[in-house]
Amino acid sequence: MAVRAKKRKAGLTRETRETRVSVELCLDGKGRTDISTGVGFLDHMLMLLARHALFDLRVKAEGDHRVDDHHTVEDVGISLGQALRKALGEKKGIRRFGSAALPMDQALAQVAVDISGRATLVYNLPRLPEKVGTFDMSLVREFLQAFANQAELTLHVNVPYGDDGHHVAEAVFKGLARALRQATETDPREKGVPSTKGVL
């Protein structure tokens, strides 16, 4: 009888004077979600991320929306990054690298990930409208920076063209999902940590 591999999961709660965020993440999931952050556009992006990465994701957040959405968006990024790092553990057997070129109507996002242990974000987007509905588009970068920092990964996001903010953001999150799906997958040929250093 085949032994089932243990699912890679993590859960955590982050509480500050500005926000309270709880995250449950399973990397070996089916794309199921239960997400409520108080920021509708962020909820939509996280649902896309989980669905296309095939992560099971539960996120509950309360924040100081009377100020604005910045603290909530950033703290969700922090918490999700921490959960990803925790779920990956020692990172043995993973593919480590992932990339995707993701079209969304007239927009194209090119996303590349290296689960390197080094936090880096390179973020190149065209000039876009400042808002999508009530959502401040600058918060996409804030989320990705917080996520990359806490997940300790290298993340490159390039959007060579696209003028609809919603479509650009959607392409970025779907591209991130596909890149993460590749990078976190286990490689049957890789028995240790995929690095000449022996550690990531």
| Overall domain count for the chain | 1
Q: Which residue from 123, 119, 55 is spatially nearest to 83, judged by alpha carbons? A: 55
Per-residue pLDDT of the chain (200 residues; tens, 9 = 90+): 455 678 999 999 999 999 999 999 999 999 999 999 999 999 999 999 999 999 999 999 999 988 889 999 999 999 999 999 999 999 999 999 999 999 999 999 999 999 999 999 999 999 888 999 999 999 999 999 999 999 999 999 999 999 999 999 999 999 999 999 999 999 999 988 988 887 88
Domain that holds residue 117: 9-184
- SS3 label, residue 50: helix
pTM of the full predicted structure? 0.95
Domain assignment of residue 189, yes or no: no
Domain assignment of residue 190, yes or no: no
